A and B are shown apart, each in its own frame.
Chain A
Amino acid sequence: MGKGDTTRQKVEAGLPRRRRKELLFKSVGMFATTVGIVFLGVFFATLIAEGSSAFKQTFMQLDVELSEDVLAPDGDLDLRYADFDGLIRAALRAQLPDVTGRSDRRELYRIVSVGAGYQLRDLLADNPKLLGTTQTLWVPASSNVDMLIKGNIDAEIDESLRPISDKQIAWVTALADTGRLETRFNRALFSNGDSREPELAGIKGAVMGSLYMLLVTITLSFPIGVAAAIYLEEFAPRNRWSDLIEVNINNLAAVPSIVFGLLGLAVFINWAALPRSAPLVGGLVLTLLTLPVIIIASRAAIKAVPPSIREAALGLGASQMQVVFHHVLPLAMPGMLTGTIIGMSRALGESAPLLMIGMVAFIVDVPGSLTDPATALPIQIYLWADSPERAFAERTSAAIIVLLGFLLVMNLTAVILRKRMERKW
């Protein structure tokens, strides 16, 4: 580039370098995006491949004679003590009459789930008139049979290396050949609480626990967060104290969540003596966790409201309150709701703080209130991932799919709310 070059020559001389830089920047961006999408794709693919089978469950058809002699030997049916398992066993024996000998029969009984007996009990509880009749029922097979049918247990390997014996495989095959074995939709996954038996374990308890917690969290953190944001943004004087508060709120948003769990343990359980493992306490802890997120998002939303709107209202003689509630809040609401839902998504996926307040527990019952012992979806995933039974592996993935589904719905809601409420000015 000589001294005598014209401006045009200088500009043109620099152009290729600029173009190269632009191209490089673009390709780096595209590479990063592609890598991200590939990882996401692998994640979803493995998750669905692993978890989708859990939505199906193997059932076997049995003709069960609801014999009065077995159930009510002294003429009185007591659902608590009646020998339903005995009926199931009898039905199995009737189905496979060739099985004789104590140990063989004991092995035979293991191909059906222990839940079959409960199913009979529920059937009779609903309709006592069935006593004395013979019913054809589909009862869940044991998880090992289920795994065998789904191909998760290799029948070819040595018998001692698999949880299901050659004899059991033969019986299952016999049942399947007579059309008495079927895989059906796994309702138990959605209608049951946790269980030691994989085929009976469901996520309802965890889902209800999570919902109760979110209920507590949203009813507390949304109004408190929005009110705090409004106060800090519209009413608080700007001074060292408000700066200090701002720094603290920003810091709190980045505090590891387990610290909030410790705080909850110290304050809500040890000091306030609230029950352990309760969604109420979980919700309170998650409120602490999401408050900074909501306050920060709400303040940003309030800041984004153009001052010209405030001035217009002030100029007409609106009071500060009226400016806030008639103009600022409606315009900031989409941003606030988005922030809140993002906070709720974080709360839904959070497990660490719940460890501290006793929500990592094997809880079979579906919680019916805020103070019932409960667990949460991410905790349920952790518990199942930790269980040795092969059938829990697919249930872990299924629970993750459900959790991701909830998160997806929440984030979609955020997007739709924002799109619908957004107003141009």
Chain B
Amino acid sequence: MTEVSNDVQLPLAEQNAVDGSVAVQAELPDGSGQVTGLGGGTVGNIRAEHSFMVAEDVNVFYGDNHAIQHVSLEIGKKEVIALIGPSGCGKSTFLRCLNRMNDTIETARVTGNITLDGKDIYRKEQDPVALRARVGMVFQKPNPFPKSIFDNVAYGPRIHGLAADRAELDEIVHSSLERAGLLQEVKDRLDEPGTSLSGGQQQRLCIARTIAVNPEVILMDEPCSALDPIATARIEDLMDELCEDYAIVIVTHSMQQAARVSKRVAYFHLGLLVEVDETDKIFTNPQHKLTEDYITGRIG
């Protein structure tokens, strides 16, 4: 049951941490000299090549708490973008805005625009169900359904009616497991419960389950934080392969991981998007004092 409390408390933890945001907001212009505006004071470059998902001036409130403030960011096709920052900085909150998972939190309110292929995903006619089929999500703790491995992967295609018959469903399940690098290990025991796998395998099963729906974006919320280094390395390799087809937005606490897998990095601090740039630039030549402090280990 411990994982339960993690999942529940995640937004709450951030909510609490953001309480102090007002003070930092005042500090920020001093530290950087940046003009606040649409970018909310973000330095670097929020634009992406082949951008197709655009967040503009996004604010999230949990009740009275202003959890993330004036965040603007573009996500490009087939790129891996890493969201980094100290705990409670709002990176997970931002991630959950991208497929409207925040809708499930009653007190959460989102303002601003997030568009996917030019269409606002928060517009009235947008069905969150359809959105989540296009923007899939992998969670911090592996959370396979207590069903068989096959049924775990087949669930998405089944509810969305992606397979016309059993053969097609088999094909989708096998190719998804293959692409998640799990097929060799589980092909003889697809009937066994997904929960019988090891942690790393479970997480790859969750990735297979996500790509079985063939989304355009995969959101990953610290996908490796519950895994050992070997399992982590496998998931990172997998991300390299997956980004040939999908855009990946990954929240991570490991700067090494961000450096290894991502093309761009966005640094969040207490609800603000402080800096966005190419990964190399962020790690070799950060422009903002806070970013520099964080990546050199002075914050966090």
A interface residues, Cβ below 8 angstroms from B: 237-238, 306-319, 322, 326-327, 331, 423-425
Question: Given the complex of chains A and B, what is the CA–CA distance between A425 and B1 in angstroms?
Answer: 9
Q: How far is the CA of A315 from the CA of B145 in the complex (A)?
A: 12
Give every chain A residue within 8 A of B132 (Cβ-Cβ): 314-317
Q: Is the CB of A317 within 8 A of B101?
A: no
Name B150-202 residues within 8 Å CB distance of A.
155-156, 159-160, 193, 195
Beyond contacts A306-B1, A316-B155, A317-B160: 18 other A-B pairs, Cβ-Cβ < 8 A, are A306-B4, A307-B4, A307-B7, A308-B139, A312-B144, A313-B155, A314-B101, A314-B132, A315-B138, A315-B210, A316-B133, A316-B210, A316-B213, A318-B159, A319-B129, A326-B155, A424-B195, A425-B146
Residues 222-272 (chain B) with a chain A CB within 8 angstroms: none
CB neighbours of A314 from chain B (8 A): 101, 104, 132
Which of A237, A306, A309, A310 has the most C-beta atoms of chain B within 10 angstroms of its own C-beta? A306
Name which of B133, B159, B210 has the most chain A CB atoms within 10 A of its CB: B159
Residue of B nearest to A238 (CB): B106
The 7 closest A-B pairs by CB, nearest first: A315-B137, A317-B133, A317-B132, A308-B143, A423-B146, A316-B156, A306-B4
Task: Answer yes or no: B3 CB below 8 A from chain A CBs.
Answer: yes
Partner of B206, one of A307, A312, A424: A312
In the assembly, what is the distance between CA of A317 and CA of B213, in Å? 9
Tell me if B7 and A315 are in contact (CB < 8 A): no
Determine how close the nearest CB of chain B comes to the CB of A326; give it in whole angstroms: 8
Name the CB-closest residue of A to B141: A308
Chain A minimum-CB-distance residue to B209: A316
Report the minimal beta-carbon distance from B158 to chain A, rounded to whole angstroms.
9
In the bound complex, do residue B1 and residue A327 qualify as a contact, i.e. CB atoms below 8 Å apart? no
Set of chain B residues within 8 Å of A307, measured between Cβ atoms: 4, 7-8
Q: Which B residues lie within 8 Å of A308 (CB)?
A: 3-4, 7, 139, 141, 143
> Known: A307-B7, A308-B4. Contact between A317 and B156, CB under 8 A?
yes
Whether the pair B146, A311 counts as a contact (CB closer than 8 A) is: no
Nearest CB on B from A238, distance (A) = 6
A326–B155 alpha-carbon span in the complex (Å): 10
Residues of B within 8 A of A237 (CB): 106
**B155 contacts A315, CB within 8 Å?**
no
Interface of A (DSSP majority class): helix
B136: Cβ under 8 A from any A Cβ: yes
Residue-wise interface mask of B (25-50) relative to A, using a CB-CB cutoff of 8 A (1 in contact, 0 not)? 00000000000000000000000000
On B, residues with C-beta under 8 Å from A are 1, 3-4, 7-8, 99, 101, 104, 106, 129-133, 136-139, 141, 143-146, 155-156, 159-160, 193, 195, 206, 209-210, 213
Q: Within 8 Å CB of B143, what residues of A? A: 306, 308-309, 311-312
Q: Is the beta-carbon distance between B7 and A306 smaller than 8 angstroms?
A: yes
Q: Counting chain B CB atoms within 10 Å of each CB, which of A306, A317, A331 scores highest?
A: A317
Report the nearest B residue to A331, measured CB to CB. B146
Contacts of B138 in A (CB 8 A): 315
Tell me how far the C-beta of A324 lies from the nearest C-beta in chain B, rounded to whole angstroms. Answer: 13
**Are B195 and A425 within 8 A (Cβ)?**
yes
A238 to B193 CA separation, bound complex (whole angstroms): 35
List residues of chain B with CB within 8 A of the CB of A238.
Answer: 106
Chain B residue contacts of A423, Cβ below 8 A: 146, 193
Residue of A whose beta carbon sits closest to that of B137: A315
Q: What are 22 residue pairs bridging A and B, where the CB atoms are less than 8 Å apart in the complex?
A: A306-B1, A306-B143, A308-B3, A308-B4, A308-B7, A308-B139, A308-B143, A309-B145, A311-B7, A311-B101, A311-B104, A312-B144, A313-B145, A314-B104, A315-B139, A316-B132, A316-B136, A316-B159, A317-B130, A317-B131, A331-B146, A424-B146
A315 touches B146 (CB 8 A): no
User: Which residues in A have their C-beta under 8 angstroms from that of B131?
Assistant: 317
With A308-B143, A313-B145, A315-B99 in contact, is A322–B159 under 8 Å at CB? yes
Give the distance in Å from the alpha carbon of A316 to the alpha carbon of B99 in the complex.
Answer: 10
Asked, given contacts A237-B106, A318-B159, whether A306 binds B145 with beta carbons under 8 Å apart, the answer is no
Closest to B140 in A: A308
Closest beta carbon of chain A to B88's beta carbon, Å:
19
Which residue, A312, A316, A322, has most C-beta atoms of chain B within 10 A?
Answer: A316
